[in-house]
Structure 1
Amino acid sequence: MESELKDLNSNPPSSKEERPLLKSDSDLAAAIEELDKKFAPYARTDLYGTMGLGPFPMTEKIKLAVALVTLVPLRFILSMSILLLYYLICRVFTLFSAPYRGAEEEEDEGGVVVQEDYAHMEGWKRTVIVRSGRFLSRVLLFVFGFYWIHESRPDRDSDMDSNHKNTSTEINQKGEAATEEPERPGAIVSNHVSYLDILYHMSASFPSFVAKRSVGKLPLVGLISKCLGCVYVQREAKSPDFKGVSGTVNERVREAHRNKSAPTIMLFPEGTTTNGDYLLTFKTGAFLAGTPVLPVVLKYPYERFSVAWDTISGARHILFLLCQFVNHLEVIRLPVYYPSQEEKDDPKLYASNVRRLMATEGNLILSELGLSDKRIYHATLNGNLSQTRDFHQKEE
Structure 2
Amino acid sequence: MESELKVLTRQSTNQRPEPELEQRDDRPLLKPEPGQSKCAAYVRRDVYGTMGRGKLSWAERLWLVPRLVILVPIRVVVGMTILVSYYVICRVCTVFRAPNREDGEEQEDYAHLRGWRRTVILRTGRFLSRAVLFVFGFYWISETRGENERELKSSDFKGVSGIVTERIREAYQDEFAPRMIIFPEGTTTNGDYLLPFKTGVFLAKAPVQPVILRYPYRRFSPAWDSISGARHVILLLSQFVNYIEVKRLPVYHPSEQEIENPKLYAENVRKLMAQEGNLILSDVGLPEKRVYHAALNGNISMPSVLHQKGD
Instruction: Tell me if TM exceeds 0.5.
Output: yes
- 3-state SS of paired residue (1:303): coil
1:166 aligns with 2:166: no
What is the CA deviation profile of residues 94-113 of structure 1, one whole-angstrom value per residue up to 9, with x for unaligned ones?
A: 11111122357xxxxxxxx7
In structure 2, what residue type is equivalent to 1:136? L
- Separation in 2, partners of 1:349, 1:367: 16
Gaps of 5+ in 1: 1-25, 105-112, 168-182, 187-243, 388-396
Q: Report the 3-state secondary structure (helix = DSSP H, G, I; strand = E; otherwise coil) of the residue aligned with 2:29.
A: helix
* Residue equivalent to 1:344: 259
Q: Tell which deviates more after alignment, 50-59 or 114-123.
A: 114-123
Greater mean deviation of Cα atoms: 69-78 or 340-349: 69-78
Q: What residue number does 1:137 align with?
A: 129
2:143 and 2:246 in contact (8 A); partners too:
yes
- Give, in whole Å, the separation in 2 of the partners of 1:59 and 1:330: 29
- Alpha carbons 1:271, 1:283 under 8 Å: kept: yes
2:171 alignment partner, one of 222, 236, 256: 256
Match of 1:288 among 199, 203, 209: 203
Provide the identity percentage. 58
Residue type of the alignment partner of 2:277: G
Paired residues for 1:92-171 under 5 Å: 92-103=92-103, 115-156=107-148, 161-162=150-151, 165-166=152-153
Superposed displacement of residue 385, structure 1: 9.5
Query: 2:210 aligns to what SS in structure 1?
Result: strand
Aligned residue in 1 for 2:16: none
1:365 paired to 2:280? yes
Indicate whether 1:72 and 2:72 are aligned. Answer: yes
1:168-183 to 2 correspondence within 5 Å?
A: none
For residue 73 of structure 1, what is the amino acid of its counterpart?
P
2:38/2:284 contact within 8 Å kept: no
Residue type at the aligned position of 1:328: Y
Q: Deviations over 1:351-389 (max 9, x none)?
A: 0110011111111111011111111111111116999xx
Cα separation, 2, equivalents of 1:76 and 1:309: 19
Which of 318, 327, 339 aligns to 2:233? It is 318
Tell me the distance in 2 between the aligned counterparts of 1:319 and 1:290. 40
5 Å-filtered alignment, 1:170-319, equals 247-319=162-234
Q: Deviations along 1:80-100, whole A, 9 cap, x unmatched? A: 111111111111111111112
CA contact (8 A) 1:44 1:311 kept: yes
Contact 2:30 2:295 in 1 (8 A): no
Question: Going by fraction, where is helix more abundant, 1 or 2?
Answer: 1
Higher relative contact order (CA 8 A, sep 6+): 2
Query: Quick one: distance in 1 between partners of 2:190 and 2:111?
Result: 32
What is the aligned partner in structure 2 of residue 354 from structure 1?
A: 269
Structure-2 change in CA distance of 1:339 and 1:115 (3 Å): farther
Counterpart AA for 1:248 = I
Question: Per-residue CA shift, 1:49-81, capped at 9, x if unaligned?
Answer: 111112111111111111122211221111111
Is 1:281–1:368's contact at 8 Å kept on the other side of the alignment? yes
Where 1:29 maps in the other structure, the secondary structure is coil
For residues 38 and 250 of structure 1, what CA distance do their matches in structure 2 show? 32
- Decide whether the 8 Å contact of 2:143 with 2:247 is kept in 1: yes
**Letter paired with 1:166:** K
Deviation at 1:115, TM superposition (A): 4.2
Letter in 2 for 1:289: A
Q: Is the 8 A contact 1:102 1:116 kept in 2?
A: no
1:197-231 deviations in Å (ceiling 9; x for gaps)? xxxxxxxxxxxxxxxxxxxxxxxxxxxxxxxxxxx
CA distance in 1, matches of 2:50, 2:146: 34
Q: Which moved further from structure 2: 295-304 or 90-99?
A: 90-99
How far apart are the structure 2 equivalents of 1:313 and 1:296? Answer: 25
Does the 8 Å CA contact 1:292/1:337 hold for their aligned counterparts?
yes
Where 2:187 maps in the other structure, the secondary structure is coil
Question: For residue 26 of structure 2, what is the aligned residue in structure 1?
Answer: 29
Larger mean CA deviation between 140-149 and 61-70 belongs to 61-70
- 8 Å CA contact 1:103–1:115 kept in 2: the answer is no
State the 1:27 CA deviation: 7.7
Whether 1:383 and 2:272 are equivalent positions in the alignment is no
Distance (whole Å) between structure 1 residues aligned to residue 127 and residue 196 of structure 2: 33
After superposition, the C-alpha distances for 1:163-201 in whole angstroms (9 at most, x for unaligned) are xx238xxxxxxxxxxxxxxx9xx9xxxxxxxxxxxxxxx
Q: Does structure 2 retain, via aligned residues, the 8 Å contact 1:151–1:330?
A: yes
Unaligned runs of 5+ in 2: 1-22, 303-311
Q: In 1, are the aligned partners of 2:165 and 2:201 still within 8 Å (CA)?
A: yes
**In structure 2, what is the equivalent of residue 205 of structure 1?**
none
Query: 1:28·1:384 contact (CA, 8 Å) conserved in 2?
Result: no
